[in-house]
Amino acid sequence: MADEKAGRRVEAGDREPTAGESAWILGDQLDREAPALADARPGVTRILLVESRAAIEGRRWHRQRLHLVLAAMRRFARRLRDEGFEVDHRTAPTLAAGLAAHREAFRPARVRATEPMSWAAQARLRALGVELLRSDRFLCHHEDFARWADGRARLRMEDFYRWQRRRLGYLMDGDAPAGGRWNYDHDNREPPPGPATRWPEPPRTPPDALDAEVMAAMPDDAVGAPPDGTWATTREGALARLEHFVTHCLPRFGPHQDAMTGRSWHLAHSLLSPYLNLGLLRPAEVCDAVEAAWRAGKVPIASAEGFIRQVIGWREYVWGVYWLWMPEYRAADALGAVRDLPAAFHDRSRTEMACVRAALDAVHDHGYAHHIQRLMVLGNLCLLAAVEPRQLVEWMHRSFVDGAEWVMLPNVVSMALHADGGRMMTKPYAAGGAYLDRMGDACGDCRYRPNRRQGDDACPFTTLYWDFLARNAAAFEGNHRMRPMLRNLERLSDLDAVRARARSVLEGLERGQI
């Protein structure tokens, strides 16, 4: 392949690597088959990995999130050394400083990298003169997504998902969807089962000396519980967790994927997103394993379809819109939300709301909460309370083991907070206490009553739901999907009292007394 100007993207392919060239592997590109490593050879290609002190110390990271990335990077470096590569794995004040020190030490003919996952990182590497290779971390590159989106009056995830199914061939019988339906979402909304249900415990890997080394260097202001071996930091560990999910969890994944229960922090969720985001697993191999289990008769179609939809549908759709709308996307705030995060997000003891405390406990203990807790508990609370979008994006980015800007921006800005004004989702995911009572089991132990909207024992979600509609009635009047809720609002006889109660709830959230 002919070389191109430094800083421009080129394609990976069959070629002879240049003697003395370097392949720069970022912390979320730990894939031996990544384009930057596709034609790398020991003795010819030197590997660079940089741990940036600015990135490590610039946020109050969850311990398990930071440990996962750093331990996985160090184990990946060890794997490459075992293959015979010379690996320059260095700590530096910034990524740019690390690259400069590497260039000074080794004088590489050129430095190549796979396209970064974030808009800012990609711009930064281009400015540093790094040659970028087209990423294959998703089954639909964001440029291909942009071509799919071009000319469409409105983007719909379901349309994209069906397009993905057809072109990739997952769960298809010829030109028709397997089982005769594209979507089994309606079958996958059951509340939590009874207390006799036991959920398979995730595998754990005992921490070793490398883990202890990473933890010893953890910043003093890191938050959350220390790692307990739940999150794998090697390719082999990630594959073992994929096998565990397909064998033990996937058969039960579908029906209760939207349920919440205090008896399990994970239910039958895959817990695979961190490995997909870091490059330890690839989306195709995950979907291949799920489809193979269904075709072998080991899992129901609703579970297989529901999971594959999350991977090739929602995950890739979120990735596509992130790149389509950046960088303006970061500043979206269509509803004019300006409040700070509730105090409980920084200190989980400062809330008596049982469902919120359960979600925050899961985040503290595991760096994780499943998608309904993120959207309908934490996100919903911030939507109803008019929390400034960037604050929630930042908190989720640093608090979740699978946090990344490309994930959090669309999921927070568009889906949770409706801050894009309906660009991605037609209506906001606003809900009162009745929904949380139906899909979870926390309300029975909570001092607040989900069916009450005013009074000291009224569920804050229920109170704030009506206040949210009243505050934003003018903005939603033209939204046909919101009209039924607005008509219900007009019939409320105690709205003034509800809104007075809402003011005290909002003040209490700020003080940590709700």
For residue 434, the domain's CATH number is: 1.10.579.10
| pLDDT at 18 exceeding the cut of 60 | no
> What mean pLDDT comes out for the span 242-265?
93
The answer to the question of residue 114 being in a domain is yes
| pLDDT at 12 exceeding the cut of 70 | no
Question: Which pLDDT band, with edges at 50, 70 and 90, does 309 fall under?
Answer: very high
The pLDDT assigned to 156 comes to 94
Q: Using DSSP bridges, classify how beta strands 172-173 and 176-177 pair: parallel, antiparallel or unpaired.
A: antiparallel
The answer to the question of residue 333 being in a domain is no
> What mean pLDDT comes out for the span 113-139?
97
Nearest Cα to Cα of residue 114 among 138, 142, 133: 133
Structural domain boundaries enclosing 26:
9-133
Q: How far is CA 311 from CA 170, 287, 414, in A?
A: 11, 8, 18
The pLDDT assigned to 19 comes to 59
Same domain, residue pair 251 and 358: no
The pLDDT assigned to 20 comes to 84
The CATH number given to whatever domain includes residue 147 is: 1.25.40.80
Same domain, residue pair 299 and 360: no
Tens digits of per-residue pLDDT, 168-211? Answer: 999 999 999 999 999 998 887 888 888 888 999 999 999 999 99
Only one residue has tokens 């769960």, namely 171
Considering the chain, what percentage of its residues have pLDDT values greater than 90?
A: 91
Q: Which of 103, 133, 163 is the last residue of a domain?
A: 133
The pLDDT assigned to 218 comes to 95
Same domain, residue pair 33 and 123: yes
Task: Give the SS3 label for residue 1.
Answer: coil
Total domains present in the chain? 3
> What mean pLDDT comes out for the span 443-467?
97
The pLDDT assigned to 401 comes to 98
| pLDDT at 1 exceeding the cut of 60 | no
Same domain, residue pair 480 and 377: yes
The pLDDT assigned to 16 comes to 53
Same domain, residue pair 35 and 101: yes
Q: Which of 325, 358, 375 is the last residue of a domain?
A: 325
Question: Cβ distance 432 to 462 under 8 Å?
Answer: yes
| pLDDT at 47 exceeding the cut of 80 | yes
Q: Which of 83, 99, 133 is the last residue of a domain?
A: 133
> What mean pLDDT comes out for the span 411-422?
95
Residues facing 92 on adjacent strands: 52
The answer to the question of residue 452 being in a domain is yes
Same domain, residue pair 289 and 311: yes
Tens digits of per-residue pLDDT, 264-307? Answer: 999 999 999 999 999 999 999 999 999 999 999 999 999 999 99
Only one residue has tokens 């009506």, namely 466
| pLDDT at 13 exceeding the cut of 80 | no
Same domain, residue pair 71 and 147: no
The answer to the question of residue 68 being in a domain is yes
Residues facing 132 on adjacent strands: 9, 113
Question: Which pLDDT band, with edges at 50, 70 and 90, does 60 fall under?
Answer: very high
| CA atoms of 396 and 385, how far apart (whole Å) | 17
The answer to the question of residue 74 being in a domain is yes
Nearest Cα to Cα of residue 395 among 54, 59, 3, 24: 59
> What mean pLDDT comes out for the span 133-148?
97
Same domain, residue pair 363 and 504: yes
Considering the chain, what percentage of its residues have pLDDT values greater than 70?
A: 96
The answer to the question of residue 152 being in a domain is yes
Same domain, residue pair 494 and 408: yes
Same domain, residue pair 413 and 486: yes
The pLDDT assigned to 17 comes to 52
The pLDDT assigned to 333 comes to 96
The pLDDT assigned to 255 comes to 86
The answer to the question of residue 312 being in a domain is yes
Vertex 60, ends 56 and 66: CA angle to 5°?
50
The pLDDT assigned to 254 comes to 84
Tell me the pTM: 0.93
Same domain, residue pair 34 and 167: no
Across the chain, what does the average pLDDT equal? 94
The answer to the question of residue 217 being in a domain is no
Same domain, residue pair 442 and 358: yes
| b/e sequence 448-465, b meaning 16+ C-beta within 10 Å | bebeebbeeebbbbbbbb
Question: Cβ distance 362 to 416 under 8 Å?
Answer: no
